[in-house]
Structure 1
Amino acid sequence: MPTHPQESDRAPSDPGAQVPQGDSLRGDLPRPEPSRPDTADGGPGPDAAGPAPAEDTYTTAIQELEDRWRRALADLDNLRKRHARELERERTLERSRTAAAFLPVLDNLELALSHAGADPGPIVAGVRAVRDQAVNVLELLGYPRHAETGVPFDPARHEVVGVVQDPDAAPGTVVEVLRPGYGDGERQLRPAAVTVAKRE
């Protein structure tokens, strides 16, 4: 039985036409993407496992640097607070030393005035002015003068150097101040040396 050639076996009627070969026969059809190897259990491949080990290393390093930075900030803040406390303490100590250096000068001025008595001479007036100026300086430094009589004895401000019988003074009160005191409470340079009326 004679066979008829198929159309694909026939030669082109146009002698100048060319038969397409290879991929050109498929035209513009999209090519299939290469298959990716999956894991043995059918799960995603190794590319879907998460960030690369290098990224984990960078993240850990950044966290460590942030922790060190925060600790450094905390240390700096503590250092600043400690420095402020130490600076205030040093200022208080230096002020106390400076004020204490005035005390012998004041004691000598007090002694000179006590020997001068009621002499209104210009020298006595000058010494009294110097004494008052020095007392004012100590008060500005935070150490007021205490030389009051007739006040109740206060062991925090007075130092008893004698007890006297004085019918005009209430028992336990200051009769005479032999050496003035300066300062109050924790900022006391020295207590006042006093005599106190004898208790009944």
Structure 2
Amino acid sequence: MSGQEMPERELDGEGAAEGETDTAKQVAELEDLWRRTAAELDNFRKRCARDIVRAREQERASVASRWLPVLDNLERALEHAVSDSDQIVEGVRAVHQQAVAVLTDLGYPRRDDETGKPFNPAHHEAVGTIADADLVPGTIAHVVRPGYGPDSEVLRPATVIVATRSE
């Protein structure tokens, strides 16, 4: 090169150490940020878990409190068990209606599955078959146990006996 040469810049130990210090600071800051974020996420997860437990407990208490009047009325019916049997039967019917109303209020109404309706495996559980000339094969011949819940969310399917062809 000519007489004016550019002096070569040599990195002395001080410049390299300063670059390493800046990098180390950035790494430490990022690591601190990462740890804080991880801790916040863990706290959020724990808070959500506590909220779920609390919501379940509140819902259980709500459902149980809805059943308390039914239990009270059953106890009253049992207190009068030695009196007139007609009144007891009437009282038990009233408690039964009250219990069905509680399930309906909870979103699980009693299903009206009647004899002659088509069997639907999504809403019915067949426990037997019977040959009956009066009924169309594949229809309900007898409801053994009623089902509860709307079409979209069956709580319990109805237990039924299904009609088959008579031989």
TM over 0.5: same fold?
yes
When residues 42 and 138 of structure 1 are mapped into structure 2, their CA distance, relative to the original with a 3 A threshold, is same
**5+ long unaligned stretches in structure 2:** 1-6, 72-85
CA deviations on 1:9-39 (whole Å, 9 max, x unpaired) are xxxxxxxxxxxxxxxxxxxxxxxxxxxxxxx
TM-score (norm 2): 0.56
Q: Which has the higher contact order (CA 8 A, sep 6+)?
A: 2
Partner of 2:89: 124
Tell me what 1:68 maps to: 35
Report the secondary structure of 1:182's partner residue: coil
Counterpart of 1:137 (choices 97, 102, 115) is 102
Q: How many residues align?
A: 137
Gaps in structure 1 of 5+ consecutive residues:
1-40, 106-120
Which deviates more, 67-76 or 152-161? 67-76
- Matched residues in 1 for 2:60 and 2:112: separation? 25
Q: Is residue 167 of structure 1 aligned with residue 138 of structure 2?
A: no
Please name the residue that 2:119 is paired with. Answer: 153
> Is the CA contact 1:139–1:145 (under 8 Å) kept in the aligned structure 2?
yes
Matched-pair identity in %: 37
Q: Which residue in 1 is equivalent to 2:4? A: none
Q: Which has the higher helix share?
A: 2
Q: Secondary structure, in 3 states, of the residue corresponding to 2:149?
A: strand
Q: What are the residue-to-residue correspondences of 1:34-45 with 2, within 5 Å?
A: 41=7, 43=9
Could you list the per-position Cα deviations for residues 65-84 of structure 1 after superposition, in whole angstroms to 9, with x for gaps in the alignment? 01222233344445556x38
**Structure 1 length-normalised TM:** 0.49
Cα RMSD of the aligned pairs, angstroms, is 4.2
